[in-house]
Chain A
């Protein structure tokens, strides 16, 4: 199962990233656990500077911008 984390303080870009992740999972049909991390102290553990950050299996894939549905699907495949 893919472990996906979306890091961000809950701003619009962070919410859009999360929504795009959920849609990408739905469209690709893969098995994934998605976690949204909004706590500032928790985010700092990952040395996050620019948000939103998208992580898949503990690897930062996208940072500082909204990941599109198509690129998320590609990362998950």
Chain B
């Protein structure tokens, strides 16, 4: 599958720096997922994906917005939806709260399941093989990077 170009994507490390500068996180996971493990950041909005098409207007257009979810798949769709609706400051966080928690960034709740499970999950709850080579934010895979 070729990479998409509609939505800008950033890694958890970059997201962390954006949050410190005042960016808003929009978490599109379901309530039970958030109850189990949540992002512990000052500015966050929870809009489940199933309600996104009716509630997206709650998101400010004039602010940096990072859309997040469990693995970065659902959030990518939501971020694309926002871009299509004029949100030019909306980006997707790759790899989701799983990578966020693995990096040791602030969370509330039980990180056990995400720290034990390092296998990527596709949509619809299916599992896909973990990628063997990864680089974040457009950096070359050959370069050493502290990102992600």
Contacts and interface: CB of A to CB of B under 8 A. Distances in A.
A44 B1 contact: no
Contacts of A22: none
Interface residues of B, number: 23
Interface in A1-57: 8-9, 11-14, 38-41, 43-45, 47-51
Contacts of A48: 77
A40 B76 contact: yes
A9 B122 contact: yes
13 contacts: A9-B1, A11-B122, A12-B124, A38-B1, A39-B1, A43-B77, A44-B4, A44-B77, A44-B84, A49-B52, A49-B74, A50-B49, A51-B124
A41 B5 contact: yes
Contact of B6 (A14, A44, A50, A64): A44
B122 A47 contact: no
A51 B4 contact: no
Interface in B64-83: 74, 76-78, 80-81, 83
A8 B84 CA distance: 18
B103 to A, nearest CB: 24
B1 A49 contact: no
Nearest to B125: A11
Of all A-B residue pairs in the complex, the 3 with the closest CB atoms, nearest first, are: A44-B80, A41-B4, A11-B124
A44 B81 contact: yes
A14 B126 CA distance: 12
Q: Most chain-A CB neighbours within 10 Å: which of B78, B80, B84, B122?
A: B80
B126 A12 contact: yes
Contact of B81 (A41, A47, A64): A47
A12 B6 CA distance: 26
A49 B124 contact: no
Given A9-B122, A49-B77, A51-B124, A41 B6 contact: yes
Contacts of B122: 9, 11
B110 interface: no
Contacts of A12: 124, 126
A1 to B, nearest CB: 28
